[in-house]
Structure 1
Amino acid sequence: MKRRFILLVMFLLSTGVSLFAQQALFGGQQIVSPEINDDNSVTFRVLAPHAESVLVTGDFLPTEKVQSPMGEMEAPGKAEMTQDEKGVWSFTSEPLKPELYSYSFVIDGFTTTDPTNPFLIRDVASVTNIFIVGGGLADLYKVNDVSHGSVTRRWYDSPGLGMDRRLTIYTPPGYESSSEKYPVFYLLHGAGGDEEAWIALGRTAQIMDNLIAQGKAKPMIIVMPNGNVVQDAAPGEGNEGFYKPQFMVPKTMDGTYEANFMDIVKFIENNYRVKADKANRAIAGLSMGGFHSFHISRYYPNTFDYVGLFSAALMPREDATNKVYDDIDGTLKKQMDNGFKLYWIGIGKTDFLYNANKEYRAKLDSMGMKYTYMETDGGHIWRNWRIYLSEFAPLLFK
């Protein structure tokens, strides 16, 4: 009898815990946010019964100008939400074009994420929610019913930097089960990013899975390193533990990364089945990563047949003394004379680096150096960089 009583108590306790967990999970009020409507407008909702003001901010809204350390830049706009009798605030956008969008709420001046949307991305130290309006190019950013590659994190020894460092590596569908050798594309992030940036914000795995499945891109290995030489890995993933990511860290863009980049190439070519020659190597990057791609490709002028500069920073600071930045024009000419298959430049019309890229193209024109150029709307934003990756990757290794 006593045993039955104990079992009954245990059952009731376990049932109570289960019911409590379910109640915590579903919350009490069923709020859907964001809700993508039939006309591709999107409704955002948040329960904040005691708030006096709630705004939604995101890159689906018209941009506004703000001052930053890099000068005047575009920032996501804001829209006022309205409150109903239950304390739920809501806002419905205009019909949106296909794209991956990010957003946050501003509740009485406090910026926060959407508690009913578990899908988040980190850009430097900012965390925002995301959603996708499908169709067009945005279908490349979705997980579709196609064969999928693998994404791994590997640690490599960098003798030049004196530490083990972390890489994110995409291998194409079928890599594990084949004996085939593959070309390699080194894809570099911007300032404030790390080896997680391209795979999370850039949707690299989804884009490549879909392009390969459509026959638009050749199967390739994509290597996404950490370009911050003082870090062994992204914040929270390395031996420094959890700390706030910074936009610019020490030794950023001082030549150290470029000078030691071949440590990465050697690791990949010693540990993966790759075609280890110039015709089967590509390098590209956004902003700071474009700066690195520019200088790495001319500093090692007979190493990469494919080079991509996405919204690239270009010339080093006046106080930069690393030998990597010696004789830029001479090494660029040597790169041109050695020959290459593709030199690709992309920039947004309102990017703060637009004029610098225009001047650089004038330099290439004066040298007779051939390049492919793409100009898009918008500024220094991930929306453009996903487009550039989607356009650049199908041109590789043809």
Structure 2
Amino acid sequence: MIKKIVFGLLLLASLGSTAQENLNFNAKKEITSPEINTDKSVTFRLMAPNATKVEVQGDIIGAAGMATMKKQADGVWTYTTGPLKSELYSYSFLVDGLKTVDANNVYQIRDVASVVNVVIIGGGKADNYLVADVPHGTVSKRWYNSPGNAKTRRITIYTPPGYEENKEKYPVLYLLHGMGGDEEAWGALGRTAQILDNLIAQGKAKKMIVVMPNGNVAQQAAPGEDIKGLYKPTMQLPNTMDGKMEETFTDIIKFVENNYRVNANKSQRAIAGLSMGGFHSLHTSRFYPKTFDYVGLFSPAIMPFAKTSSPVYENFDTTLKKQFDNGLKLYWIGIGKTDFLYKAVADYRKTLDGIGAKYTYVESEGGHTWSNWRDYLVLFAPQLFQ
């Protein structure tokens, strides 16, 4: 009997030891990646002892876009950047040519059909993208009926700090994404809620509601969020730039103005968008010339119209002039110097100059990137509803 008890105790001790070893295994192999160093350089680490080549790629590497990591004796590959400017950066790894995320970094964002890791270097403009100790707004995912598209669709809506506690009416910014994006893009990649929270807290921007619709009218919602289930997202979907989005935009406005406390007049409405969303903002505001007093075109996709029977694109020059003749408080255009749409925007500015239109033009460094579009929102929002 004593022998059985001793054996049992030894067995339990053995199992406990094994369990403890298993619990501690990850702690022994814990890897920190990315690590922001005191000089604002960033060190990446990836455990891949059997790999022959590991690279890190993304805008965090700069113009080169890719850098080779160095294998250490313990099988961990490392790479350290030079000191970086304040920004939200994205990156991923290539292991023997296979793209993968950083398993040690839980902060990931989907951009169309790919998932990338992100890291924020503060101490500058990226402080706008961080959650600060300030009053916060609310971000809601709502479903609305769109008779024009014969479907129920999802929309993201930011309400400012204090909205739930008072009975005030607020102005509205309709903020549109680019091709391949959806109603989640401006919130995740654009950091809209953080930017608005911080600008409002600093007294730089008015309290406003921000409406972020899905500009792909063929979709109910972002991939994986509607009745189609889980599928691989694609860049270009049907009816994205054929007038359907513009024609049915009033469905969005009606939902917002029937369900939120808003100032439903032209002086309290703004519309802005990036790339394809800039295209939609340009034509929606022109097609409904008495609807918006503020228009923002962020790297707008200004291009020949699709072959369509939509009335949205008819009599472009005449309706554009009529829009400006009706009066606008702000018509804002931003474009990067190396953006592939730079010439198209330059040509459009000549059109505006030809009709004597007044507009604000901002030219920044860089190209067709979220880095620029976040900057444009930071610049544009404080000028609204003043």
Shorter-chain TM-score: which interval? over 0.9
Residues 1:339 and 2:327 are matched in the alignment: yes
Aligned positions of 1:212-223 closer than 5 A: 212-223=200-211
Name the SS for the 1:244 alignment partner: coil
Aligned positions of 1:209-358 closer than 5 A: 209-358=197-346
Shift of 1:319: 1.9
Shift of 1:20: 7.7
The corresponding residue for 2:114 is 126
Shift of 1:30: 1.6
The corresponding residue for 2:37 is 37
Shift of 1:32: 0.5
Consecutive unaligned residues in structure 1, runs of 5 or more: 65-76
Residues 1:49 and 2:49 are matched in the alignment: yes
In structure 2, relative to structure 1, the CA distance for the partners of 1:341 and 1:25 (3 Å cut) is farther
Tell me how many residue pairs correspond in the alignment.
376
Distance of 2:333 and 2:140 partners within structure 1: 29
Shift of 1:304: 0.1
Distance of 1:212 and 1:21 partners within structure 2: 50
Shift of 1:19: 5.7
Shift of 1:200: 0.1
Aligned positions of 1:81-120 closer than 5 A: 81-120=69-108
Shift of 1:224: 0.2
In structure 2, relative to structure 1, the CA distance for the partners of 1:83 and 1:295 (3 Å cut) is same
Shift of 1:317: 2.9
Moved more, 221-230 or 312-321: 312-321
Moved more, 42-51 or 318-327: 318-327
Residues 1:149 and 2:120 are matched in the alignment: no
Distance of 1:200 and 1:331 partners within structure 2: 35
Distance of 1:247 and 1:304 partners within structure 2: 29
Consecutive unaligned residues in structure 2, runs of 5 or more: none
Distance of 2:25 and 2:317 partners within structure 1: 60
Distance of 2:375 and 2:208 partners within structure 1: 18
Shift of 1:23: 3.2
In structure 2, relative to structure 1, the CA distance for the partners of 1:53 and 1:306 (3 Å cut) is same
8 A contact 2:241–2:306 mirrored in 1? no
Distance of 1:340 and 1:93 partners within structure 2: 45
Matching residue's letter, 1:29: K
Distance of 2:228 and 2:26 partners within structure 1: 36
Tell me the TM-score normalized by structure 2.
0.94
8 A contact 1:316–1:325 mirrored in 2? no
Distance of 1:215 and 1:161 partners within structure 2: 39
In the TM superposition, what whole-angstrom CA distance separates every residue of 1:352-371 from its partner, at most 9, and x where no partner exists? Answer: 00000000001101110000
Matching residue's letter, 2:80: T
Residues 1:61 and 2:61 are matched in the alignment: yes
Distance of 1:218 and 1:58 partners within structure 2: 35
Structure showing the higher helix proportion among its residues: 2
Tell me the TM-score normalized by structure 1.
0.91
Name the SS for the 1:179 alignment partner: coil
- Pair member with larger Rg: 2
8 A contact 2:130–2:194 mirrored in 1? yes
Question: Which of the numbers 168, 173, 177 marks the counterpart of 1:185?
Answer: 173
Matching residue's letter, 1:375: E
In structure 2, relative to structure 1, the CA distance for the partners of 1:119 and 1:20 (3 Å cut) is farther
Shift of 1:340: 0.8
Shift of 1:26: 3.9
Distance of 1:174 and 1:387 partners within structure 2: 25
Distance of 1:218 and 1:130 partners within structure 2: 29
The corresponding residue for 1:397 is 385
Matching residue's letter, 1:184: V
8 A contact 2:217–2:245 mirrored in 1? yes
Distance of 1:326 and 1:22 partners within structure 2: 69
8 A contact 2:275–2:300 mirrored in 1? yes
8 A contact 2:144–2:152 mirrored in 1? yes
8 A contact 1:347–1:376 mirrored in 2? yes
Distance of 1:48 and 1:369 partners within structure 2: 58
Distance of 1:277 and 1:25 partners within structure 2: 62
Distance of 2:275 and 2:26 partners within structure 1: 42
Distance of 1:91 and 1:280 partners within structure 2: 49
The corresponding residue for 2:126 is 138
Shift of 1:22: 8.0
8 A contact 2:242–2:306 mirrored in 1? no
Distance of 2:20 and 2:107 partners within structure 1: 24
Identical positions, percent: 62
